[in-house]
Structure 1
Amino acid sequence: MKPSKLYLKIFLYFVMILIVTELLIFGLFIVTAGRIFQARFEHYTRAKVLVAREFVNEKIQSEPERHPAENESLKNLILFFSKTYDAKVWLASADGTTVVKSFPGSLPIEISKITLQEDAHRPDLKNYRHLKKDWMSYSVIPVQIGKDQMGSLHIIFETAEADHIKAVFAIGLAAIGLIVALLVYSVSRRITAPIKKLKDSTLLIAKGDLSHRAVVKSRDEIGDLSRSFNFMTEKLEKMIRGSRELIAHVSHEIRSPLARIRVSEELLKDCIERSDYTDLKRHLNTMEQDIEELDRLIESLLTLSKLDIQETALKLDSIDLTALINDLLNRLKPGINRKNLKVQTSLSIDQPIVGDKAALKTAFSNILENTVKFTPENGQVIIKMYFQEKFSVITVTNSFGALSEKDLFQIFEPFYRTEQTRTTGSGLGLSITKKIIEKHRGSISAENSPDGFKILISLPAIDLKG
C-alpha cells in the first residue's frame, strides 16, 4: 500500500529529529566522556613507551661493546614488545637510520602525514597521530644506543582502544536510531490512519452518502475533529433533507391556489363567452383572494429563507414587551370580540429586553394571531409575563384541545399543521417565530397544560435593578 504524503512527512520529520539528536549525543560524548577516555588512553600509551625504553636501555647497557644491530637479545626484546603491544617497534640512530626493527620491509608510515602532539608530562616524549587514520598513534622517545651516541625508540600503535570505544558508541547510536525509526514508522501510521479514515468519509459524503459517519474513537485532537465532522455532516444532512421537504411542501402549497386561479380563469372565460356578467365579479374576487394567499406564502418563505441564511442583521434596541403585546392585542380586538373570547393578561414587568422590534413584533403577532384564530368561540386566552433568572418569560395559553406528543415536537417545523388546523394557514408562522426567538438568543416551546395549549417564550432581559 502506497504511504500517504502526510505519513511520509511525519516519518521524515521524526527521522530528521532523531539524526540531529544522535549527532548531538555523539558530540557530547566526544567532548566529555570521549576526552576523558582519550586522556586515560594516552597515559596508558605513555606508560608503555616508558617501560619499553627502560628495558631497551637495560639491554643496550648490558652489552655496551656490541652494536645494537648485532645484539640478539635486543632484537628479541624489540620483537617481544611488538607482540605484546600489538605494535610496530624499531630503534633508529641519531640520523634516522633504522638499527633494529620488529617487522620486515620499509617503515610503515610517512612522517609528512603525521601531526605532533606535545606531551606536557614528558617533554622528551613525542606523540604523533596520523592525519588520515585517527586511530594510528606513533610515539618517539630518545634512547642511548652506544657510548656517547643517542638514538630514538619508535613505536606505532595501530589498534587504539579509545578510538575503538568511539566506533562502538557510534554503532550503538546507529542501532538505537534504527530501532526508533522502526517505532516511528508504526507511530506515524497510527497518527495518519484516523486522518485517512476521515478523508475516506469525506469522499463518501461528497458522493452523496449523507448517512455515512466517520468512525474515529481516539480521544485526541483528531478524535475531536472527527466528532466535529460528524456533527457538521448531521447538520448538513438535516439541512438538505429539510430543503427537499421544503421544496415538496412549497410545491404542494402553491399548487392549490394556482389550481383555484386556473378554475376561476375558466369560469371567467365561460361567463364572457355566454355574456353572463352576473358571476364575473365573484370569480374575480376569488382570484384576488388566491393571489393574496400566494403573495403571503411567498413573503413567508422569503422571511424564513432570510432567517435561515442570516442575511439580515438585527437592529437592536431596548424594547418594552408589555407595550408591544398590548398593541398587538388591540389590533386583534375585532377577532377577539367576534369569537367572544375572554382574554386575561398579567404583564406587570419592568425589565425591558434588547432586540429587533420589527422582528419580535412579527414573532408575537404570529403567536397571537394563531391563538385568536384557533381558540374556540367563547374560549379563554391567558397571557403572562414574568422575570426568571435574567430572562423575560412570556406564556400564551388558550382553551384549544390538548395536542399529541408528536404535534408538540413538530409544531415549529415549516409547513407542519396539526389535524385540527390542517385546512387553514401555511404552517410557516411558528417556524418563523422560532427562528426569530432563537436569533435573539432565546427559546420557545409548546406544552399541554390544565388551562389548555401553552406556548412558552424566554428572552434575555435587561435587569434594571443591577
Structure 2
Amino acid sequence: MKRISLRTKLIVHSTLLVLGAVVGVGVSLYLAERLYLLKRFEHTQLENVQSLVQIAREAITTRNQQLLESYLSLLRRSRALTYAMVHTGDGTVIAHTNDRQNGARLADPMTAKAVATQEKLLRQEGKIADDIVVDLTLPILKDQRRLALARVGYSKNFMAQLVDQALEAARERVILAAAVALAVGVFIAILLSFLLSRPIRHLRDGAHRIGDGNLDHRIRITSRDELGELAGEFNTMAAKLQELDQLKQDFVSNVTHELRSPLTSLRGYVEFLLRGSAGPLNEEQKEYLIVVKNNALRLARFIDNLLDVAKIEAGKLELHREPVSIADLAKEMQIVFRPMGQEKKVAFSTDIPADLPPVLADPDKLSEVFTNLLSNAYKFTEESGRIELTATRENEFVHLVFNDTGTGIPPEALETVFNKFEQVKPTRGLARKTKGTGLGLSIVKGFVEAHGGRVWMESAPGRGTTAHVLWPVADPAALSEEEIA
C-alpha cells in the first residue's frame, strides 16, 4: 500500500472540511434566499389586498367607482396577478380587473368559500384553466359592518418563475462567493498543513538520524507546545543514548585490551609447548594444543575486530595511505583463498584491466576489506559455485564488484546488513551452518567510508550476492605534494 504523508492527509482532510463547510453554507444561503423571496411575494400580495380594501372602502363610501377602477388598472400591471376584484356578499362583482366581469355574479367554489368565511384574511388555492391561483380575501368593513369583499388572485406558477429568475442571479453570487471561499480555505489549509507538518518532519528526520547512529544530532526546539516537549524528550533520549554508547565503547575498548595481554601470553606458551621446548609431546597432546591454538587465534581475530569497530565509531581510525595495486591485491587473494576454493570446489576469477590506476589506501585496511567480502562470498557459496572480482574506473573512483552465486540475502536484510552484530539468517543449504561475529561487513563499511568511498549490496534469495565498492583513485600530483611536505 502506498504511503501517504501527514502533510497530504492534512491538506486532503482540511480541503474536504472547507469544501463541506462551503457547500453547507452555500446551500443554506440559497434556501434562505428562496424563503426570503417567497415571504416577500406573500407580503407584497398582502399589502396589495390591504390597499385594495382601503381604496374600495373609500370608493363605496363616496360612491366613487372611478377611484376603484383606477386602482384596479394599476394592479393589472403586475405580471403575476391573475385577477383583483371587489364583490358583494352574494358574489356580485362591483369592480374587476377584467371589465367584462363587472356586474356578474360569481358562483365558483372559491367565491362561495370567500363569501361564507368569517376570517379576517382567507388564503386559498384554486385552479383556473391550467394554472393554480393563490387567492387572498379580506372583508371591507365600516363600523364593524361588512360592505363587500376584496380579493386578489396570483398565479402560483408565474410566481415560481419569478422566484427562479431572482434565484438565478442569487445562485451566481453564491457560487462565486463559494468558489472564492473554497480557494481561500484550500490556501489556508495548505499553509496550515505546512506549518503543522514542518516540526513533525523535523522530529521524523531527527529520529532517523538518531536511529542511524548519529547520537550527536539534536532537534531544534522552535515551539513550547506538545511538539516542542516531544522534541525536548527526543534530545534527552539522544543524550542518554550517547552517554550509554560512550560507556559501551569504553567498556569494549578496556575489555579487549585486558583480554589481549593474557591471550598473547596464552598463545606464546602454546607455541612454546608445540615446539617441544618443555619436553616431548605425544600426538594426542599435540592435537589438544592445536585446538587451543586455533581457538586462541579465533578469539584474537574477534578482539581485533572489536577494536577496529571501536576505533571507527570513535573516529580514531589511523590510516597510512599509499598507492595500492588492485591487480596485485587480487592475485594475493587468489593465493590466500585457494585452499578454501579447492575444498568447496568454488571457482574464483578476476577481471582487472591492465591500465587500471592504483587506489589510495591503507594496504592493511584494503586487504581486510577484500578478505571480509571474499570470506563471506566463499562462506555462502555452495559447491561448484563461482566468485568473480571485477574492477573498472569510474571518474575519480575504482569500482570493485564482488559477485558470487551463493544463497543470496533477503530484501528486508539488505538495509541492515552493514550494522554491527547483524547476521543474515539464510534458509537453505550449507549457509545454515555458517557462523560469524556479525562485525565483518560493519568493519568493511567503516574502512571504505574512512577512505572517502562507498559500499553497497545487491542480492536476492537464490540468485547470489553482488558487493559494490567505490574506492578513490590515487592522485599522483597529490602524492607528490605529500612526499615533499
Q: After TM superposition, is the score higher than 0.5?
A: no
Smaller-chain TM-score bracket: 0.3 to 0.5
- Normalising by structure 2, we get a TM-score of 0.40
- Normalising by structure 1, we get a TM-score of 0.41
